[in-house]
Amino acid sequence: MNTDIVRDFERVSPDLVRQAAQFQAAVLADVAGRRGAFHGRIAALRPRMKLAGPALTVDVRPGDNLMIHAAIALARPGDVLVIDGKGDRTAALMGTIMMSACQQRGLAGVVIDGAVRDTLEIDEMDFPVFSVGTNPNGPTKNVPGRIGHAVSCGGVTVRSGDLVLADADGVVVVERERVEGLLPLARKKVEDESARIAQIREGNTSAAWLAAALRTAGVLKEGESL
């Protein structure tokens, strides 16, 4: 059996995906300890695009998409393809044909540390795609890679089955085992931020923590204030 392809792994549950999808990527990144956010080079093709689901990881050589075709064939509905394309922008690894296959198979979206093409058609499809940019060049289909193994995407380690959530701010991944425990923290953060915004709109724009932080940083002396 080919060990380069891992077919069986535990995915974050659909129920947890549905709950997590209610939150912004920024909220999950914050409650996860300000970690798990991909480098900002990986961004939505269109700001309205959003996705959430378990990762199906793909490791490819720059400019070659052979293993992405294999991953699409193996993917389950709801999966998010997370592709380590090594940040290469000299050729597109995916376009309309492959994205159409992903959409037809019920995938939640694609996150790729590489380039894509046919962006106007993908926009019309309304299929969520996050990439480092675009290039009209087509890829090769010759080089072996790996599916289902841990990859580095946008500077973050991603395992198949981990939760991937992405929106206009970018992409964040949360380890499958941590998702359930972080959801209550995410709810509280949203409540706290909503309350703070309400205070600001009533005229209370001063941050209660600012003076102490400035003193700790040595900007203000004890007894001084802004």
- pLDDT in 10s for each residue of the chain, 226 residues: 569 999 999 999 999 999 999 999 999 999 999 999 999 999 999 999 999 999 999 999 999 999 999 999 999 999 999 999 999 999 999 999 999 999 999 999 999 999 999 999 999 999 999 999 999 999 999 999 999 999 999 999 999 999 999 999 999 999 999 999 999 999 999 999 999 999 999 999 988 899 999 999 999 998 888 8
Residue 1's pLDDT is: 59
Rounded to whole angstroms, the Cα distance separating 165 from 78 reads 12
pLDDT of 95 reads: 98
Domain assignment of residue 8, yes or no? no
C-alpha to C-alpha distances, 188 to 27, 147, 160, nearest whole angstrom: 10, 36, 28
**Residue 206 maps to a domain:** no
Q: What pLDDT, on a 0 to 100 scale, did the predictor assign at position 127?
A: 98
Q: What is the pLDDT of residue 114?
A: 98
Whether 176 is in a domain gets the answer yes
Residue numbers belonging to the annotated binding site for substrate: 95-98, 117
Binding-site annotation, residues for Mg(2+): 118
Residue 169 lies in a domain: yes
Q: Is residue 198 part of a domain?
A: no
Assigned domain for 196 exists: no
Domain hosting 113: range is 14-183
Question: What's the structural domain count of the chain?
Answer: 1
The token pair that represents 155 in the structure block: 């500077």
The reported pLDDT for the residue numbered 102 is 98
Residue 123 neighbours by CB under 8 Å, 6+ apart: 45, 46
pTM: 0.93
104 in any annotated domain:
yes
56 lies in some domain: yes
- CATH number of domain containing 44: 3.50.30.40
Residues in the chain: 226
Q: Among 142, 141, 161, which Cα is nearest to 151's?
A: 161
Binding residues: 95-98, 117-118
